[in-house]
């Protein structure tokens, strides 16, 4: 009898152990803290995180991500340095972030970056500058501006300015196209500017159209423009187009230094710096193509969060259009962004 009782007690203890294990499993508890939900962390790595455009874009992406349920948003400035950028990629992989939004400083590194993130099972969206292969084909989803169309808008405005100000035959006037030929997102901007300018200012002497390349920063834009202005002292009236506002402002400062700003015209692209020029009593910055960093940043974060939360497929291409703004209309068109 005692033996039977002992067996029954042992069976009861064993069953209790199994019940306990079953209960923990059903509640998802497998150890200390296991019942806590995993936090969603988004990392945004921008090639020039100290520039106004990327600051605004990052702020918009952060606001969108947090509003949709992200627990943290990491903003990283790659400082236009490929080594710093790759280190940032390795760091966010080590942190096991849930998604990466990025503007790469050197597009030749695209395949390396996409491979690293794919191996880590981390989704990525390129903002502004595409992640692409050697042939220029996108290898990751991209959000940015409708580059050629926006460049065309700048070219039309500049062409009309030249015609309306009787500069077509004026040999003391010339056009400068600031370029960023190593950045795929900027090449079609210049292409659109040039094509629509010569179409609008039909018959303009193309020998009076000059080019100067820079890296997208105001300082390098200034240096590139100043070198052209110095090399052509016979030109007293310049019409300048640039693929971003930093280059345009650099050209404005170079014109001021050369004493040519009162007779010249600069057309920006972005308007995030042009708006400050418009607030001045006078600036050679006469117009800019306005498009919203908030649209690019917010859209990139929205798509990333929808993928993480719902598995919604991320579109490969999303492009934002622009409107031309001047000192007279920028407040009306830009709204809060004009402040």
168-204 per-position pLDDT tens digit: 999 999 999 999 999 999 999 999 999 999 999 999 9
| Sign of CA pseudo-dihedral 98, 142, 339, 105 | positive
Q: What is the pTM of this model?
A: 0.78
Asked whether the predicted pLDDT for residue 8 surpasses 70, the reply is: no
What is each CA distance from 319 to 143, 204, 267, in whole angstroms?
Answer: 6, 31, 21
Bridge partners of residue 266, in order along the sequence? 240, 285
Model pLDDT, residue 320: 85
- Between CA 162 and CA 142 the distance in angstroms is 35
Per-residue pLDDT reduced to its tens digit, 202-232: 999 999 999 999 999 999 999 999 999 999 9
What is each CA distance from 145 to 42, 266, 294, 318, in whole angstroms?
Answer: 22, 21, 12, 8
Q: What is the DSSP letter of 130?
A: P
Edge-to-edge strand list for the sheet holding 323-326: 209-213, 173-179, 237-241, 265-270, 285-290, 323-326
Q: Which residue has the tokens 């992200």?
A: 70
Q: pLDDT-based confidence at 123, cuts 50/70/90?
A: very high
């Amino acid at each position: 009898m005692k033996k039977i009782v002992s067996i029954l007690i042992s069976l009861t203890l064993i069953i209790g152990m199994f019940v306990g294990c079953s209960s923990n499993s059903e509640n998802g508890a497998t150890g200390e803290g296991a019942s806590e939900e995993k936090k969603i962390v988004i990392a945004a790595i921008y090639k020039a995180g100290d520039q106004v455009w990327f600051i605004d874009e990052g702020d918009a992406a952060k606001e969108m991500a947090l509003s949709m349920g992200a627990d943290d948003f990491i903003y990283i400035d790659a400082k236009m340095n490929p080594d710093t950028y790759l280190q940032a990629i390795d760091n966010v992989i080590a942190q096991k972030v849930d998604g990466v939004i990025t503007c790469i400083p050197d597009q030749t590194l695209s395949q390396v970056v996409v491979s690293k993130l794919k191996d880590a099972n981390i989704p990525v969206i390129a903002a502004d500058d595409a992640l692409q292969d050697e042939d220029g084909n996108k290898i990751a989803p991209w959000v940015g501006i409708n580059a050629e169309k926006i460049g065309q808008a700048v070219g039309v405005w500049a062409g009309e300015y030249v015609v309306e100000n009787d500069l077509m035959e004026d040999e003391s006037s010339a056009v400068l196209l600031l370029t960023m030929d190593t950045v795929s997102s900027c090449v079609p901007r210049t292409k659109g500017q040039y094509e629509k300018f010569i179409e609008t200012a039909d018959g303009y002497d193309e020998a009076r159209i000059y080019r100067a390349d820079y890296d997208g920063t105001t300082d390098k834009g200034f240096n590139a423009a100043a070198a052209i202005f110095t090399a052509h002292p016979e030109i007293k009236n310049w019409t300048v187009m640039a693929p971003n506002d930093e280059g345009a402002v650099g050209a404005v400062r170079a014109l001021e230094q050369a004493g040519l700003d009162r007779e010249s015209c600069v057309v920006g692209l972005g308007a995030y710096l042009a708006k400050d020029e418009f607030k001045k009593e006078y600036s050679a910055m006469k117009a800019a193509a306005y498009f919203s960093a908030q649209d690019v940043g917010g859209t990139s974060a929205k798509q990333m969060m929808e993928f993480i939360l719902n598995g919604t497929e991320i579109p490969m291409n999303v492009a934002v259009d622009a409107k031309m703004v001047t000192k007279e209309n920028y407040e009306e068109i830009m709204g809060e962004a004009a402040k």
